Amino acid sequence: MTDTNIVDLRSDTVTKPTPDMRQAMADAQVGDDVFGDDPTVNRLQEKVAELLGKEAAIFVPSGSMANQTAIRAQTQPGDEIIAHADSHIYHYEAGAPSGLSGCSLRLLPGPQGRYTASDVEAAIRPLDSHFPQSTLIVVENTHNRGGGSVWSIDSIAAIRAVADAHNLKMHLDGARLMNACIATGTPPAGYAKYFDTVSTCFSKGLGAPVGSAVAGTAATIRRVHRFRKMFGGGMRQAGIIAAGALYAIENHIDRLSDDHDNAKRLALAAAEMPGLSIDPDSVETNIAYFDVDENAGTAQSRCQTFREKGVWMLPVAPQRIRAVTHLDVSRDQIERAITVLGNVLGSQSAV
Ligand SMILES: Cc1ncc(COP(=O)(O)O)c(C=O)c1O
């Protein structure tokens, strides 16, 4: 099957740079960024700081490094980080908060990756030498395992008030912050102002091949810079990839609404199919989770059958499948995916 026949819904990280993005990368002016000499990296960092309304920003290779350098810069070994039980920093970053920063995690429950200010208040440790010290709260927006769910400004503001009352810092895992902004009409700085540090990714919905950034005060970003080096993330002629990120910021933010429409269309159609369940209202941005009925096989077996017919999705639990829309999935391809899912589920008995 050729690339053009495949509808790859496994993740929004699978996008390939567009011809214009590749051209911008080929044309990029570069220098040695470890010396601070790369003009394109410098331009990207200034642009991200401005977009997020922060004093400074730093380009890093990945979303995980963005989160983990921000965590390391704002905690001490023995501290405790408050985060959702489904958060990316807990599940998918190889245990880095403990491995790299020596911190434990206090995990909060809550629907679709969201918790409340009172959950946070109840989780903060008393100032007592027996306890780990709560120092940092991490919010993920949009929330990946929560189904691309979006946080409201009101709930974030309420958590900030608790953080201030107890002298805690807040980090935003904004790998998909731009999806939240497009879904709600809130500008990036409108979310970022509640956080001490913000990470954001260029290589997810924005379609750049690589790169993320951390933004915050100049003093915090100086510390992040040090930990980027320590964690092996200092890059040399990084302007080549920074140019892809700049191109993505300038050209690919507004179009995220197409991805959101496509995810909703897929969810609405799948909700009518036998063997799959999804609440279309739970799809707020570009991520949809489907539950596979036990009598319709497993997520693994269903994904295998869909894949043989050119529709790639990700089994994420024994009965759970994830589909993510992105720059390289058109509305026509979504319609094709719907036809394939409908044919497979309508015509096949349990596996
Ligand atoms: C919410 C969230 N944060 C962080 C990351 C980490 O990004 P990376 O894969 O670039 O390390 C991801 C990756 O999918 C993510 O979904």
Atom of ligand 1 nearest to the CA of 204: 14
Position 5 scores a pLDDT of 85
| Closest ligand 1 atom number to CA of residue 140 | 1
The predicted structure's pLDDT at residue 346: 85
Helix residue spans in the chain (DSSP H): 19-26, 39-52, 63-74, 88-91, 96-101, 117-123, 153-166, 177-184, 188-192, 218-230, 239-251, 256-271, 299-308, 331-347
Residue scoring higher pLDDT (291 or 4): 291
Q: Can you give the pLDDT at residue 348? A: 54
Environment class of residue 162 by beta-carbon count within 10 Å: exposed (0-12), middle (13-18) or buried (19+)?
A: buried
> Residue 2: its pLDDT value, please?
57
Is 351 a residue whose pLDDT tops 50?
no
Residues of the chain with CATH 3.90.1150.10: 255-347
Query: Which single residue is written with the structure tokens 């496994």?
Result: 10
| Model confidence at 349: pLDDT above 50 | no
Domain 255-347 bears CATH identifier 3.40.50.720 = no
Q: Note the pLDDT tens digit of each residue in 208-234.
A: 999 999 999 999 999 999 999 999 999
pTM above threshold 0.85:
yes
Which regions of the chain carry the CATH code 3.40.640.10? 19-251
pLDDT of residue 296: 84
Given this model, what pLDDT does residue 221 score? 98
Pocket, ligand 1, Cβ cutoff 6 A: 62-64, 67, 88, 140, 144, 173, 175, 201, 203, 212
pLDDT digits (tens, 9 = 90+) for 25-41: 999 999 999 999 999 99
Element holding 292 (H helix, E strand): strand 287-292
Given this structure, which CATH class describes domain 19-251?
Answer: alpha beta
- Mean pLDDT score, 328-351: 86
For range 3-14, the mean pLDDT: 92
64 Cα–ligand 1 center, Å:
6
Q: What is the DSSP secondary structure assignment for residue 79, as one 8-state letter?
A: E
> Ligand 1, closest atom to CA 176?
1
| CB 314, CB 11: distance < 8 Å | yes
Exposure b/e, 115-142, CB count within 10 A at least 16 = b:
bebebbeebbbeeeeeeebbbbbbbbbb
**Closest ligand 1 atom, residue 203 Cα:** 10
Average pLDDT over residues 319-337: 98
Which residue's CA is minimally distant from atom 16 of ligand 1?
A: 144
Nearest residue by C-alpha to atom 3 in ligand 1: 175
Q: To the nearest whole percent, how much of the chain has pLDDT over 90?
A: 96
Report which protein residue has its CA nearest ligand 1's atom 4.
63
Q: How confident is the model at residue 347 (pLDDT cuts 50, 70, 90)?
A: low
Q: Which of 12, 14, 64, 179 to mutate to test the pocket of ligand 1 (most atoms within 8 A of CB)?
A: 64
Say what the pLDDT of residue 1 is: 58
pLDDT bucket at 255, cuts 50 / 70 / 90: very high
Q: Which of 15, 88, 142 to mutate to test the pocket of ligand 1 (most atoms within 8 A of CB)?
A: 88
Which tens digit of pLDDT belongs to each residue from 278-288? Answer: 999 999 999 99
The pLDDT of residue 289 is: 97
